[in-house]
């Protein structure tokens, strides 16, 4: 497999607690790969390490042949690996459109001084960002709430806005942290379709962490299952569903229900 992202022996220890232990897997270009596991299995820690928010104790993350683990998050984002957040993390006191526009920062060519003095490049950038923001808003079907204050939005729209923020950076890999959490069946199915379109229409590689098993099974090309910080299985949805270690991990824990 010609991997776009390689996670190699990533281990993260917090004092005596090992959050991730020697996790290794590859991600193929334009793949939808889900990381699953019971609560506290270390999925979010793994994501944080890929996006540069946390540096692995040992091991490394390779993106297109370059090591990205240990770089600060803004550098990782500039290379094309962007994370959206578990909570509905957005800029609350901005409108939807402002949220998306400011998130184009990565692509600005003008310098900060250029912005201050309003140089030609800065103006060109602003115009381009506005247009691109409108494109993204249309793509996600957020036209109606374009000028709404983000703090006034309901859950579903917030999640979509979070995705819009991620898209605005024009990533190659987008890391979605629990995109279906707290959604009802209809909302989830709509979101599943949307994530598919990210891949099909925008050519993104999607990594997601998720608890909603039916959605994961439906959407994923491949699944990596983590328990107690260690990778216990990797494979297609069918393989994962049949894997005795995965079933044991889920049945052994209180939150049970792999949902099949």
Partner 1 sequence: MSMPRLAGVLAFLLGVFVLVPLVIGMTGRWDFYYTLTSVALLSVAAAGVWLTFYIGRINIGQGAYALMGGYVSAVLMTQYGVSFWLTLPLAGIFCAAISVLIGLPILRLRGVYFAMVTLVLTEVARLTALALPITNGAKGITSIPLPGELSVFGMTIIPDFATLENPKLAFYLMAALLMTLTYLILWRIVNSRLGHLCRSLQQNEELSASIGVNTAMLRVLAYAISSFFGGLAGAIFVAISQSIYPSSFVVQDSVNFMLYCFLGGLGYVFGPMLGTLLLYFGWDLLSIAKEYQLLIYSGALIALMLVLPNGVLSLLDKKGGRK
By beta-carbon proximity to partner 1, the closer residue of 38 and 179 is: 179
Residues 138-177 that bind partner 1 (CB under 8 A): 165-166, 168-169
Identified binder of partner 1 from the candidate list 9, 40, 118, 182, rule CB under 8 A: 118
Spatial separation of the C-alpha atoms in residues 149 and 198, rounded to whole Å: 25
CA 252 vs CA 12, 50, 237, 241, 248: distances in Å: 24, 28, 20, 15, 6
108 binds partner 1 (CB under 8 A): yes
116 binds partner 1 (CB under 8 A): yes
Query: Are 145 and 100 a contacting pair, CB within 8 Å?
Result: no
Identified binder of partner 1 from the candidate list 28, 62, 94, 149, rule CB under 8 A: 94
The least CB distance from residue 221 to partner 1, in Å, is 24
The least CB distance from residue 174 to partner 1, in Å, is 11
Spatial separation of the C-alpha atoms in residues 73 and 76, rounded to whole Å: 5
CA 5 vs CA 2, 124, 259: distances in Å: 9, 33, 29
Contacts with partner 1, residue ranges (CB under 8 A):
51, 53, 72-74, 77-78, 82-85, 89-94, 98, 101-103, 105-106, 108, 112, 115-116, 118, 122, 125-126, 165-166, 168-169
């Amino acid at each position: 497999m010609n991997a776009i992202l390689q996670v190699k022996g990533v281990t993260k220890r917090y004092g005596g607690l090992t959050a991730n232990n020697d996790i290794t897997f590859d991600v193929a270009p334009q793949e939808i790969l889900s990381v699953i596991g019971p609560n506290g299995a270390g999925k979010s820690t793994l994501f944080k390490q890929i996006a540069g928010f946390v540096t692995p104790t040992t091991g490394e993350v390779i993106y297109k042949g370059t090591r990205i683990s240990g770089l600060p998050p803004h550098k990782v984002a500039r290379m094309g690996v962007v994370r959206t957040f578990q909570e509905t993390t957005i800029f609350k006191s901005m409108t939807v459109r402002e949220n998306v526009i400011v998130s184009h920062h990565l692509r600005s060519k003008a310098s900060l001084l250029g912005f201050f003095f309003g140089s030609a490049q800065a103006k060109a950038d602003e115009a381009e960002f506005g247009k691109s923001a409108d494109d993204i808003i249309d793509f996600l079907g957020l036209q109606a709430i374009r000028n709404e204050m983000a703090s006034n939005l309901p859950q579903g729209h917030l999640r979509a806005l979070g995705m819009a923020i991620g898209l605005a950076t024009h990533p190659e890999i987008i890391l979605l942290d629990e995109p279906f959490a707290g959604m009802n069946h209809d909302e989830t199915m709509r979101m599943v379709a949307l994530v598919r379109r990210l891949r099909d229409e925008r050519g993104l590689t999607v990594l997601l962490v998720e608890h909603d098993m039916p959605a994961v099974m439906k959407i994923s090309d491949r699944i990596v299952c983590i328990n107690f910080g260690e990778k216990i299985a990797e494979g297609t949805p069918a393989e994962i569903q049949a894997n005795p270690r995965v079933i044991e991990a889920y049945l052994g824990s209180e939150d049970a229900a792999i949902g099949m």
